[in-house]
Structure 1
């Protein structure tokens, strides 16, 4: 089936929005600039998406696509999760858009929370891991810190780290977050 012109226009707007939000952040990105990048009239952006907020929500739609980890031994779970997250980030720059923007924009920050709380915590719950929300938050702190250093701040040693080495470094820490006993609270 042939792609409709409206589908091509919508895709061009979305691609331009991802680039612009990623480069400029939410606050500085404008509908006019996004439209110019997509080589269309700004009114078309509004026609397809309605508002800057709705366009951002579409551009920042990131599915972690967590696989079924039920067959993974608990001592290898952090490695499997780290590998999966790195592969997703390498394949889709949407996380970079979210990460860059979440620091200064509450809509983006909420979306980032939804991604990790809404996708990771239920997976941990299915694996019968206790305190899944807390552990998902700890995993997010490690994973997002790594992503920030690799993709946004571009720390040379982290940018240049081969994916397999990154998994080897991150895996044990994530495993500890997922499997260590809950600390006693005084």
Structure 2
């Protein structure tokens, strides 16, 4: 369905309302009617633009990791720069509520799991391919990188493990950097 510029404010209000409610009540506790009320529109408008709750959820958590072009990064700085990028995306100058919302939702919702897979399977893999090329190791490296960053994000923002929450952003990035560097450039066969 093609949308006009006139519909953009309504669609933006619906997505903002959906994000607020999803963050507060989770996927299961968020309804189309509640989102419509939050956005100040009729529920039929939500259905018109997003078809159903799953479509609304997917649009509301359409996460862009905002990766810069990594192809010109010095090889020895890849882990540090990538770690700092993720921390900035989670809580720095690039942050928004989407990553936390998606993480919280993925704990209990299959649609959120699929969305995380799509984001990390697509965007992270593209960034890793800029570093290591399109060889067979790229997918493994991207997957291992995802385990690191998603694990840290889950422990910091969802489970709120006190030692991980207590770290300042620089310390967090410095702790993640060597592991990310290994996943990007290390000998993965040596670990087996």
Both proteins in one fold, TM over 0.5: yes
The answer to whether residue 129 in structure 2 is matched with residue 125 in structure 1 is yes
State the alpha-carbon separation in 1 of the partners of residues 39 and 6 from structure 2. 13
Cross-structure match for 1:175 = 181
Root-mean-square deviation (CA, aligned residues, Å) is 2.1
Normalised to the residue count of structure 2, the TM-score between the two structures is 0.86
State the alpha-carbon separation in 2 of the partners of residues 169 and 5 from structure 1. 47
Q: 1:185 to 1:6 in 2, by over 3 A?
A: closer
Structure 1 stretches of at least 4 aligned residues deviating more than 6 Å after TM superposition: none
Which runs of 5 or more structure 2 residues have no equivalent in the other structure? none
Cross-structure match for 1:56 = 57
The answer to whether residue 168 in structure 2 is matched with residue 153 in structure 1 is no
Normalised to the residue count of structure 1, the TM-score between the two structures is 0.88
Task: For residue 5 of structure 1, report the CA deviation from its aligned partner.
Answer: 6.2
Deviations 1:9-64 (A, max 9, x none): 21111011112222222222111222222233322222222211111111010111
Q: 1:185 to 1:139 in 2, by over 3 A?
A: closer
Which runs of 5 or more structure 1 residues have no equivalent in the other structure? none
Q: Say whether the 8 Å CA contact 2:67–2:85 is kept in structure 1.
A: yes
Cross-structure match for 2:143 = 137
Cross-structure match for 2:10 = 9
For this pair of structures, how many residues does the alignment match? 184
